[in-house]
Structure 1
Amino acid sequence: MTSEVPLHGGTANRGRVHRVGDTVRRPLRPTAPAVHALLRHLEDVGFDGAPRVLGVDDDGREVLSYIPGQAVTAPAPPWGLTDAALRSVGRLLRRFHDATAGFDAAPHTWSESPPEPFRVGGIAHNDPNLDNVVFRDGQAVAMIDFDLAAPGDPVWDVAATARLWAPLRAPVDTVDGRRDRELARLRVLVDAYGLDDVGRARLPDAVLGHHDWMTALVGDGARRGVPGFAAYWTPDAAARAARTRTWLEQQRDAITASLL
């Protein structure tokens, strides 16, 4: 038998995702039929930046194609935090949104959708964290972990990416070279994505909305005993989230100005 190699990263599925040869085995969620329909659509339209659906194994796990490369897992390698890497993430995200434009999400049951007014307009990955993007030669080539994908406005995904990658949070909580460059990196991302003026005007609301949405999702998962969320949602994590929210509110005008 081919040995199983644990794949690191992630929160909800930590320790439960394994590589077997050229495949990845992951827990099968109730929303898997929706996600698999999305991934098959991406394959049909020629988008090469997502895994392919290969089926379900004898242990009841979904089987996806393994995408060679590196994710930016902790401790983050310096190449993953460069502006060049960030630009490539913006371009990949735009390609993903363009590829999903013709996908009909209506027949499927999804994970929790973003709140109004960001609930419609396309498909959102919803969790473009650093460890959910695969790189080769310093360039983002694929997105993985579509468990939280759901109908949503593309600007919601741009906001999520900005929040996580710039990163848009209190500088005291950034300990790498991105510290105090948050707004400059925000501009790098939105320019690489090609976000239009309407999207830029909506982005500050989307950033704060995504922060609140994800904080509530993780906090609720921790209270329900989801192992990864429970381990992550410590008092320190809750304090960081509160600092981030305060900072986002205080920096709203500066965020808006940086996008002009």
Structure 2
Amino acid sequence: MTVEVQLLGGTANQGRVHRVGNTVRRPLRPTSAAAHALLRHLEEVGFDGAPRVLGVDEAGREVLSYVPGQAVTAPPPCWGLTDEALRSVGRLVRRFHDATADFDPSPYQWSPQVPAPFGDGGIAHNDLNLDNVVFRGGTAIALIDFDLAGPGTPVWDVAAAARLWAPLRDPSDVTDVRRGRELHRLRQFVDAYGLDAEGRAAFLPALRDSHRWMRDIVREGAADGVPGFAAYWTAEAEARAERARAWFESAADEITNAVT
């Protein structure tokens, strides 16, 4: 008998992702062909920080290889909030961007388009949330959940990841050991990634736009009745998103100084 174990994490696919032995079974999506092409490219170029595509099962679900390790799921473990964990995420994201530099996304249908000027010039994961990074021994070793991947500049991904991992939000909404260290951690993240001068100059606009882009995806998903999004997008979540937006403006100079 095949035993299926529901995996934690995720919003759009909440409750619909299962481990079966050394594989992961996930729902197919209109963008699955694009994500699979990207994952196959990563395999071809020797990038070891992503699952492998294994096919489709009898239930019509995509089959991916299971990546052993731990993700930073709520409540976040202490090891997932360390500066070394943060820096390792920056280094992993850089490896991902380097590995996708020569991937051609044009033949495929992708997730909602990243807005100009950040929509061309690379491939972005677009959902580098804490539970989408696999760790071993406190070090980030793989990215998972490529549902929102698509064309996007490196700084777009860096800004979105820093927003989640530093984290960059109103300090009243940071309730763990990272509180008060957001800008220090931001600098560590962009330095570990190796963000170039052009990317650092574009960081603040990318931060603003990526926050708005993700907020709209979640809000529209909730309005369309996607269960995970509907459960997440409460009045408090909306207020928290607005507090983050306002904080980006009030702390704009400090954020810019932290990355330049």
TM-score by length of 1: 0.99
Helix, strand or coil at the partner of 1:47: coil
Write the distance in 2 (CA, Å) between the matches of 1:259 and 1:72: 25
Distance 2:52 2:114 in 1: 25
Residues 34-65 of structure 1, C-alpha deviation per residue, up to 9 Å, x if partnerless? 00000000000000000000000011100000
Mapped to 2, the partners of 1:104 and 1:121 lie a distance apart of 10
Residue type matched to 2:82 in 1?
T
Task: Tell me whether 1:110 sits opposite 2:102 in the alignment.
Answer: no
Code of the aligned partner of 2:152:
G
What is the one-letter code of the residue matched to 1:188?
A: Q
Q: Secondary structure at the match of 1:63?
A: strand
Alignment match, 1:150? 150
Partner of 2:43: 43
How far, CA to CA, are the matches of 1:241 and 1:200 in structure 2? 23
Secondary structure of the structure 2 residue equivalent to 1:180: coil
1:209 CA displacement: 0.6
What is the one-letter code of the residue matched to 1:227? P
In structure 2, C-alpha distance between the alignment counterparts of 1:250 and 1:118, rounded to whole Å: 23
Residue 16 in structure 1 maps to residue 24 in structure 2: no
SS in 2 for 1:24: strand
Q: Alpha-carbon deviations, 1:166-213, whole Å to 9, x = none?
A: 000001111100011110000000000000111001000101111000
Match of 1:95 in 2: 95
The structural deviation recorded for 1:2 is 2.1
Question: How far apart are 1:259 and its partner, in Å?
Answer: 1.4
1:166 aligns with 2:174: no
CA RMSD of aligned residues (A): 0.5
One-letter amino acid matched to 1:56: V
Within 5 Å, give how 1:160-239 maps onto structure 2.
Answer: 160-239=160-239
Aligned partners of 1:20, 1:179: CA distance in 2, in Å?
Answer: 38
SS at match of 1:14: coil
> Any runs of at least 4 consecutive aligned residues in structure 1 with deviations exceeding 4 A, and if so which?
none
Runs (5+) with no aligned partner, structure 1: none
Cross-structure match for 1:121: 121
Task: State the match for 1:242 in structure 2.
Answer: 242
Q: SS of the residue aligned with 1:172?
A: helix
Letter in 1 for 2:44: D
- Distance, in Å, in 2 between the alignment partners of 1:204 and 1:249 is 9
One-letter identity of the residue aligned with 1:31: T
Letter in 2 for 1:235: A
SS of the equivalent of 2:33 reads helix
Task: Please give the residue correspondences for 1:54-93 in structure 2 after superposition, counting only pairs within 5 Å.
Answer: 54-93=54-93
Instruction: State how far apart, in whole Å, the 2-side matches of 1:187 and 1:114 are.
Output: 24
User: Once the 2 structures are TM-superposed, how far is the Cα of residue 113 of structure 1 from its aligned partner?
Assistant: 1.9
Report the 3-state secondary structure (helix = DSSP H, G, I; strand = E; otherwise coil) of the residue aligned with 2:62.
strand
Q: Secondary structure at the match of 2:15?
A: coil
Q: Distance in 2 between matches of 1:250 and 1:115?
A: 23
**Structure 2 SS opposite 1:116:** coil
**Number of the residue aligned with 2:4:** 4
2:103 and 2:147 map into 1 onto residues whose CA distance is 17
Deviation at 1:153, TM superposition (A): 0.4
> How far did 1:258 drift?
1.0
Distance 1:118 1:165 in 2: 20
Secondary structure in 2 aligned to 1:220?
helix
Name the TM-score, length of structure 2 as normaliser.
Answer: 0.99
Letter of the aligned partner of 1:205 in structure 2? P
Q: CA–CA distance in 2 between the matches of 1:13 and 1:236?
A: 22
Q: CA offsets, 1:97-133, max 9 Å, x none? A: 0000110100111011210000001000000000000
